[in-house]
Structure 1
Amino acid sequence: MSAAARPTVVKLGGSLSESGRIGSILKTIGRARVACVIVPGGGVFADAVRAAQTEHKFSEAVAHRMALLAMHQTGMMLCAMHARLQPAETLAGIRRAITSSRIPVWLPLKLVDGDTAVSRGWKTTSDGLAARLAERLGGAPIVLVKSCRVPRSASAARLAKSGIVDATFAAVVERARLSWRVIGDGDEAELADLLGAGHRSGRRAPSARAIARRR
Structure 2
Amino acid sequence: TAAHAMAILAMEQFAQIILDRDERLAPARSLEEMVRALDAGKVPVWLPSSLTLPAPDIPASWDITSDSLAAWLAGKLGANALLLIKQTGAFSGSDTIDGLAARGVVDAGFAAMLPDGVDVHLAGPKNAAEAGALLAAGHLPGIAITASIRSARIAG
TM-score (norm 1): 0.62
**1:147 equivalent in structure 2:** 87
Name structure 1 gaps, 5 residues minimum: 1-60, 197-203
Q: Structure 1 CA distance, aligned partners of 2:58 and 2:133?
A: 31
**1:23 equivalent in structure 2:** none
**1:133 equivalent in structure 2:** 73
Residues 55-97 of structure 1: per-residue CA shift (max 9 Å, x gap): xxxxxx0011111110111000001011111111000011100
Q: Structure 1 CA distance, aligned partners of 2:33 and 2:8?
A: 18
Whether the 8 Å CA contact 2:123–2:142 is kept in 1: the answer is: no
Residues 116-146 of structure 1: per-residue CA shift (max 9 Å, x gap): 1111121100100001000100134211111
**2:32 equivalent in structure 1:** 92
**1:102 equivalent in structure 2:** 42
Q: Structure 2 CA distance, aligned partners of 1:167 and 1:140?
A: 22
Structure with bigger RCO (C-alpha 8 Å, 6+ apart): 1
Offset at 1:194? 4.1
The residue type equivalent to 1:167 in the other structure is A
The correspondence for 1:187, drawn from 111, 127, 131, is 127
Match of 2:58, SS state, is: coil
Whether the 8 Å CA contact 1:180–1:211 is kept in 2: the answer is: no
Offset at 1:156? 1.1
2:14 matched to 1:74? yes
Match of 1:139, SS state, is: coil
Question: What are the equivalent positions in structure 2 for 1:1-215 lying under 5 Å apart?
Answer: 61-153=1-93, 154-173=95-114, 175-196=115-136, 204-206=137-139, 214-215=144-145
The residue type equivalent to 1:163 in the other structure is G
Structure having the higher helix fraction is: 1
**1:30 equivalent in structure 2:** none
Number of residue-to-residue matches in the alignment: 144
The residue type equivalent to 1:162 in the other structure is R
Residues 96-117 of structure 1: per-residue CA shift (max 9 Å, x gap): 0010010010011110122111
The residue type equivalent to 2:124 in the other structure is G
Name structure 2 gaps, 5 residues minimum: 146-156
Q: Structure 2 CA distance, aligned partners of 1:182 and 1:189?
A: 15
% identical aligned pairs: 33
The residue type equivalent to 1:64 in the other structure is H
Q: Structure 1 CA distance, aligned partners of 2:20 and 2:76?
A: 27
Offset at 1:164? 0.5
Q: Structure 1 CA distance, aligned partners of 2:6 and 2:96?
A: 31
